[in-house]
C-alpha cells in the first residue's frame, strides 16, 4: 500500500511539473521582453549616474573661498572674533562698579549682539564691517580694562570716569549707526568717527599709541 501511495505521489508530481513546464514555456517571450526593457532602463541609469559623477568630480569650485552655510572661512573667523570680544566686554561689565559706565557698556553689548545676529543672516555684509570689528570693539575693550583696573585700585579718578563715559557714548552711537546701516544699501564709512575717537581717547589718557597699533593690526 505504501509503495502504491508513493508511486501515486511521484506520478502526480511528474504530471504537475510537466504542466508547469509547458505553461511557463509559453510565457518566455513575455518575460524576455520585460527583461530587455529592464536592462535598457538599468543601462540608461548607469550612464546618467556615471555622467553625474564625472561632472561633479571635475567641476571647478566657485571663487570666494570655502563656505559653510553661505559664510566663508574668513568671514566666519571675523564673526568668531566679534563674539569673543562681546563675551570679554560682558565679563568686564560684571566688574564695573560705576553704574553709568556699566549701563553704557550693557547697551553697547546689546547693539553688538544685534549686529552679529544680523550678519549671520546677511554674511555678504561681514567684510564691510571689518573696521567696526577691528577698531571699535578692541578700543572699547582696552578702555574698559583700564577703567576696571583704576576702579579696583581704589585711586580716585573722577576725570577718568567722565572721559570714559564720553568715549562710551561715542562708541554706543557708532554701534547704533552700524546696526542701522545693515538695513541700508550703503555701508557707513566711519573713518571720521574713528579718527575723532582716537584723538579724544589719547587726549584723555584712556589709550596710548601702542593700544591703537594693536587694534588696527587685527
17 and 43 fall within a common domain: yes
pLDDT in tens, 149-183: 989 988 777 888 999 999 999 899 989 988 888 88
- For the whole prediction, is pTM greater than 0.75? no
Same domain, 90 and 187: yes
Are both 99 and 142 inside the same structural domain?
A: yes
Give yes or no: residues 112 and 38 share one domain: no
Same domain for 83 and 176, yes or no, is: yes
Note whether residue 139 is domain-resident: yes
Residue 86: domain span: 74-216
Within-domain flag for 39:
yes
Q: Provide the pLDDT confidence category of residue 30 given band limits of 50, 70 and 90.
A: low
Q: Is residue 99 domain-shared with residue 179, that is, in the same domain?
A: yes
HEC assignment per residue over the chain? CHHHHHHHHHHHHHHHHHHHHHHHHHHHHHHHHHHHHHHHHHHHHHHHHHHHHHHHHHCCCCCCCCEECCEEHHHHHHHHHHHHHHHHHHHHHHHCCCHHHHHHHHHHHHHHHHHHHHHHHCHHHCHHHHHHHHHHHHHHHHHHHHHHHHHHHCCCCHHHHHHHHHHHHHHHHHHHHHHHHCCCCCCCCCHHHHHHHHHHHHHCCCCCHHHHHHHHCC
Q: With respect to residue 64, please indicate whether it lies within any of the assigned structural domains.
A: no
Confirm whether 67 is domain-assigned.
no
72-82 pLDDT, tens per residue? 788 888 888 88
Amino acid at each position: 500500500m505504501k509503495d502504491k501511495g508513493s508511486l501515486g505521489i511521484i506520478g502526480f508530481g511528474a504530471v504537475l511539473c510537466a504542466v508547469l513546464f509547458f505553461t511557463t514555456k509559453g510565457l518566455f517571450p513575455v518575460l524576455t521582453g520585460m527583461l530587455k526593457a529592464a536592462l535598457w532602463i538599468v543601462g540608461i541609469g548607469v550612464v546618467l549616474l556615471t555622467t553625474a559623477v564625472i561632472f561633479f568630480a571635475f567641476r571647478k569650485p566657485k571663487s570666494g573661498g570655502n563656505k559653510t552655510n553661505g559664510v566663508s572661512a574668513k568671514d566666519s573667523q571675523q564673526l568668531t572674533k566679534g563674539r569673543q570680544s562681546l563675551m570679554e566686554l560682558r565679563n568686564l561689565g560684571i566688574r564695573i562698579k560705576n553704574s553709568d559706565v556699566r549701563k553704557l557698556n550693557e547697551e553697547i553689548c546689546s547693539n553688538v549682539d544685534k549686529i552679529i545676529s544680523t550678519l549671520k543672516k546677511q554674511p555678504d555684509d561681514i567684510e564691510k564691517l571689518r573696521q567696526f570689528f577691528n577698531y571699535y570693539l578692541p578700543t572699547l575693550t582696552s578702555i574698559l580694562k583700564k577703567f576696571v583696573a583704576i576702579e579696583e585700585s581704589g585711586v580716585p579718578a573722577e576725570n577718568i570716569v567722565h572721559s570714559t563715559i564720553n568715549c562710551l557714548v561715542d562708541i554706543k552711537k557708532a554701534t547704533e549707526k552700524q546696526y542701522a546701516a545693515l538695513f541700508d544699501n550703503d555701508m557707513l564709512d566711519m573713518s571720521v568717527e574713528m579718527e575723532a575717537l582716537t584723538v579724544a581717547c589719547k587726549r584723555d589718557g584712556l589709550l596710548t599709541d601702542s593700544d591703537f597699533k594693536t587694534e588696527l593690526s587685527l
